[in-house]
Chains A and B, each alone.
Chain A
Amino acid sequence: MGEALAPTVDHGALFRAAPNPYLILSPDLTIVGVNDAYLRATLTERDAIVGRGLFEVFPDNPDDESATGTANLAASLKRVLATGRADTMAVQKYDIPRPEGGFEERYWSPLNSPVLGRDGAVELIIHRVEDVTELIKLKQQGSAQEDEIYRRAQEIQAINEELRAANARLAELDQAKTDFFSNVSHEFRTPLTLLLGPIETMLANPGDLTAEQRDALELAHRNALRLLRHVNTLLDFTRIETGGLEPSLEPSDLAKLTREQAGAFESACAEAGLGLTIDCPGLTAPVLADPALWEKIVLNLVSNAFKFTHEGSIAVSLRERGDQLELVVRDTGVGIPESELPRLFERFHQVRGQPGRSQEGSGIGLALVKELVELHGGEVTVESVLHEGTTVRVSIPRIAAEAAVAPGSPSGDVHTHYVEEARRWVDDDPAAGHPDDARATVLVVDDNADMRDYLARLLSPHWRVRVAVDGQAALEIALDDPPDLIVSDVMMPRLDGIGLVAALRATPATRGIPTVLLTARAGEEATVEGLEAGADDYLAKPFSARELTARVRTHLELARQRAALAREHEARAAAERLADRLERLRAIDEVTPDLGDLDSLLRVMLDRIDEIVDAEAGVVALLGDPIRCISVGEDLPTSAFEGSVARAGRPLHVDAPESLCAVVGVPLQAQGQPIGELYVGRLEPRPFSDEEVQLLQIAAERVAIAVERAHLENGHHTAARPGALPEIPGMELAAQWRPRAGGGPGAGDFYEVVPQADGRVGLAIGDVAGTGLPAVELMTQLRSVLRAYATELESPAEVVNRLDRLVRSMTGTRLVTLLYALVDPREWTMRVANAGHLPPLVLTPDGGARLIEIPRGAPLGMSAGDRPEIELELAPGATMLLYTDGLLKRRGRPLDDGFDALERVAAGIGSDCEPDELCASIASQVLGDAPADEAAMLAVRLLPPPRELRLEVPAVPESLAGTRRALTQWLEAAGAGSGDVGALTLACGEAAANAVEHAYGPDDGTFELRAAADGEEVTVEVRDRGQWRAQRGEGRGRGLTLMKGLLDDVEVDAGDDGTTVVMRKRLAGVAGR
């Protein structure tokens, strides 16, 4: 069918009517064909372009130095010709000449494909373009909104993250509590074990003891054992809790074990007048169980029964019932109220109001039994009748074991078991295994020097330790630099431990510092007082090293958890406030900038701002002569605004006129320069809150941007330019920035001077490709980031590479050339890194001018590429000129012509030219009155070392001030910072005053001052021809003290023919003091 249709088709007409723009080129890039769409898109006529060269018809916009369209197109066409294959180009920006003059900006996505002849050579090239101008423009508009959406999504994500983290912290806190228990129990076991050892040794030889001593020792022994039992129970618990207690099941004769354990209570029951029946006949076979745990089950149940039974009996029985083994402990005790039964096995739950045999009882015995039984796969039940008695039944599965009962069951040597375990714990010092967070600081407070040293010695292997001699000293330290934890004695002079705790708790900054008090045995009342005052813990003296470290560690950990939780809450609250504020500010951002003129735009913005801060009047006052005011709402007498807020550079509450009750103004700033003021007023008698003023400041930023934008569009962009240059000792600086003649969109030429704290100075010159608002905005952003990097980073290459990363990370990337030099005026050297910028021009002191080549790395935004940093010498007296290519460009002339002109002018200026003269000459002779392009230049001259200063001064008090001025000026030229200048002028003033006061009578003679600099050391000599005399008076006698305190070296040589004072100081730089 296609073939049948073919003869009727006019291919020429088809091509001309094709909807996409097409251009047909011959291999020499002459236009041989074009379709209508292309003509429409380029605003051209067919007759006017066919037969002419492509680039003759479509040159780059000569006013746009960033235009790279033709170069890119030429490169692509060259590739097609060379390879014979199609070549797709990235989106290009073309400046299409309008018939009526000027250029129109279009974004095209072009494809160049070859038409091959029979021999395979390229005969024609089809240049097809797709016009994506609208798409690009839409994208540029959309990206701001996308950014906002993205930012908010990030915030929500961050808040969720915080919530998750907070939950995790709570779980950690729980864990910390369990750890605390475990630690404390361990800490108890060791001393108890060590206590029991000697007691048992002594009781083993009762012959050496009197009856009284033996009774006392037995009492101690009993109670130590009892305490040990409680501690062990706690430990069992924490081990069950952490999954650390695994029953070691083995074939066991549980009947025998039960008889032995219950039998241990026989004598106790007999003494108490209670009957004890044990009914545990031998079992048919050994049962798989953990003998040690079974013992604990029996012991706990029987001792519990004993504790709560005052008369009657206790019966213990063990029976095989089917596949279960059942242990029953029955008593005739006080019984348990029915309401308490369900909670009986809860940990730490003790039945209230029940008269026990003793007050002891951790409340965990039954709970432990339950856990232990469950470890055996069994269960526990309780029946009880109040005042009649209680029956506890334990049943575990009867798993018969084939093997006989293992010999050496542990029942016989509980003591050995304890000792073994104790040894394990003693060896297992937790501090030895993992050093504690070395960054935590513990403040030790004790007035006893020995005790203080001892404590510091104990704690310093684990933490940083500071010491204080009493509570007052500790409080001062804590207020100054809060430690992470305080260990304090109670009894101290000036401020005791209780007072210290109270003072710490009364101050927000120190409220959260965990505090452990050390109390003497007799100090129980103090302990209570201390805990009431807010101490976290106390330790009675004497205590062991491990006891102390364990407490400190636990409280540090708890404090860390608490602080983390508090931080989470704070962060969340801050995030919520921020989200709310953003929500409100969006109303301003929604004001679209295409409302026509600036005034209508500002009025809309003012209306929105009034809504946000709840105000009835709004004024934007734009600085200028006269100040221009745009206002909405209630009347604010605009004559009242005379720039005071702009000058103050901060929000001011202004006296309200009669009609309004509160007025506040905030400055409008662009690049740190004041451009105007924003005022709002309120009818209600309610002042604007800090929060509202903050909102207003953010709103002011939006207003300032709108004003700047409007100015830029009108060609005024001077506010975007650098302000006055800083004064740097040891060098002279000058700079110029010239807009292109006749206004037009601003370009991105800039310079920057960043003084460093050490006396060096960073100099930057750069050029952002392109023109108009995007270029100027990028330039402004780069300059502020550059200032930050230059202040922080030592290496110019690093500064340049960081900026490169920033540019590459931005959308709609542009190329930026940048040269950054870090100049040292004392060493006469500089370190330079260059990202594609033009070479600096150096004028040597002998009158020569030459370009210095600096390895030129890739421009910013192009590639990570290598941008080497080199060090160069810059001779004293030489002047270096940094500049942008706007200085060189001539319409229709190669760049080299510009270089030649620049060198010629510079060489003609001569040897002794000040940087500002150089800039002025170049501006007038190279740029002329009508620069074709924007240009920036920055000139620096390093001053030769100052000559020696030599003054002959009348020896009268009135000449001292003038001498100081002369010395100050000389010192600054020698590169001294303000600290050094201050120290040297004061010291010399002392020497000079002495000469004036004591060397001569009134109005008689002179003294001599000489100053010289050698490298970084300055020597000043004050010589008179009178007698040195020690100064009189309390203050004056301190003259020499001052001199010695301020300088490195002071020599006084008092001879018969006069006194010479020689003073030396090494310069520390401007940061020095």
Chain B
Amino acid sequence: MNDLCELVFEDDGETLVALLIGEIDLSNSGAIGDRIRERVANHSLGVVVDLTGLTFLDSSGLELLFDLRQRLESRRQHLDIRVPVESPVRRPLELVDLVPPSPPGIPAPVAALTGDVPA
């Protein structure tokens, strides 16, 4: 994995939080996906992917997230994507419906881990 993106994990035993800081494109999306998947324990309730520190995310990064969600769902685990309304990577996520469109001026509610992941 190159140094475009830093990956920080926080694990409280129930939930894995992955903080992504930097940029994700074709050159590192595969490696990042692998590293997140390796860390998800069987007993985890799910994964929170925090994209607050991300400045670039292309469609290979979106594929990473779609793939992660699919894998987690097959194991009855949840994926929660956190991205602030003002983030530069919010728009691509909205365009492919990975996060709900944010009404202007109002922060989108972050889906709780136990709730439904917006489709």
A residues at B contact (CB < 8 Å): 480, 957-958, 960-961, 964, 978, 982-983, 985-986, 989-990, 993, 996-997, 1031, 1033-1036, 1038-1039, 1041-1042, 1045-1046, 1073
Contact = CB atoms under 8 A, between A and B. Distances in A.
B42 interface: no
Interface string B81-98: 000000010011001100
B23 interface: yes
A1035 B26 contact: no
Given A958-B2, A978-B88, A989-B58, A1041 B27 contact: no
A993 B59 contact: yes
Nearest to B104: A1073
Interface stretch (B13-21, B43-51, B63-71): B63-71
Given A1035-B67, A1042-B58, 12 more contacts: A958-B27, A960-B26, A961-B27, A990-B59, A993-B25, A993-B59, A1034-B70, A1035-B61, A1035-B62, A1036-B60, A1041-B95, A1045-B95
B96 A1038 contact: yes
B95 A1038 contact: yes
Contact of B66 (A989, A996, A1035): A1035
Nearest to B59: A1039
Contacts of A480: 103, 106
A1046 B66 contact: no
B111 to A, nearest CB: 15
B112 interface: no
Given A1041-B95, A1045-B95, A1035 B56 contact: no
Given A480-B106, A986-B92, A1035 B60 contact: yes
Contact of A1042 (B56, B70, B92): B92
Given A480-B106, A1041-B95, A1036 B63 contact: yes
Contacts of B65: 1035
Contacts of A960: 25-27
A1045 B25 CA distance: 18
Contacts of A996: 26
5 cross-chain pairs, A with B, having the tightest CB-CB distances, nearest first: A1035-B63, A957-B27, A1035-B62, A1045-B95, A1039-B59
B41 interface: no
Contact of B26 (A957, A1038, A1045, A1046): A957
A1001 to B, nearest CB: 15
A997 B26 contact: yes
Contacts of A990: 58-59
Interface residues of B, number: 26
A933 to B, nearest CB: 45
A986 B89 CA distance: 9
28 contacts: A480-B106, A957-B25, A957-B26, A957-B27, A961-B23, A982-B88, A983-B91, A986-B56, A986-B57, A989-B58, A993-B60, A1033-B66, A1034-B66, A1034-B70, A1035-B61, A1035-B64, A1035-B67, A1036-B59, A1036-B60, A1038-B59, A1038-B62, A1038-B95, A1042-B59, A1042-B62, A1042-B92, A1042-B96, A1045-B95, A1073-B91
B8 interface: no
Given A957-B27, A1042-B96, A1034 B91 contact: no
B4 interface: yes
Interface in B23-41: 23, 25-27
Given A1035-B67, A1038-B62, A1046-B95, A985 B27 contact: no
A961 B25 contact: yes
Contacts of A993: 25-26, 58-60
B67 to A, nearest CB: 7
Contacts of A978: 88
A1041 B66 CA distance: 15
A835 to B, nearest CB: 37
Contacts of B91: 982-983, 1045-1046, 1073
A982 B88 CA distance: 7
Nearest to B57: A986
Contacts of A964: 23, 25, 56
A1010 to B, nearest CB: 20
A1039 B36 CA distance: 23
Nearest to B62: A1035
B89 to A, nearest CB: 8
Nearest to B61: A1035
A964 B58 CA distance: 12
A39 B92 CA distance: 82
B28 to A, nearest CB: 8
B23 A986 contact: no
Contacts of B61: 1035
A957 B4 CA distance: 12
Contacts of B62: 1035-1036, 1038, 1042
B95 A989 contact: no
A971 to B, nearest CB: 13
A658 to B, nearest CB: 33
Nearest to A1043: B59
In this complex, the member of A480, A978, A990, A996 whose beta carbon has the largest number of chain B beta carbons within 10 angstroms is A990
B3 to A, nearest CB: 10
A972 to B, nearest CB: 14
Contacts of B106: 480
A957 B95 CA distance: 24
B23 to A, nearest CB: 6
Nearest to B25: A960
B46 to A, nearest CB: 19
A1035 B26 CA distance: 12
A1013 to B, nearest CB: 21
A297 B92 CA distance: 79
A961 B25 CA distance: 8
B10 to A, nearest CB: 24
Find the residue from B23, B60, B70, B91 having the highest chain A CB count within 10 A. Answer: B60
Nearest to A959: B27
A507 to B, nearest CB: 15
Contacts of A1046: 91-92, 95
Contacts of B25: 957, 960-961, 964, 989, 993
Given A480-B103, A993-B59, A961 B95 contact: no
A1041 B96 contact: yes
Contacts of B66: 1033-1035
A983 B64 CA distance: 20
B59 A1031 contact: yes
Contact of A1035 (B27, B59, B88): B59
Contacts of A1041: 95-96
A1055 to B, nearest CB: 23
B67 A1034 contact: yes
Contacts of A997: 26
Contact of B56 (A985, A1033, A1039): A985
Contacts of A989: 25, 56, 58
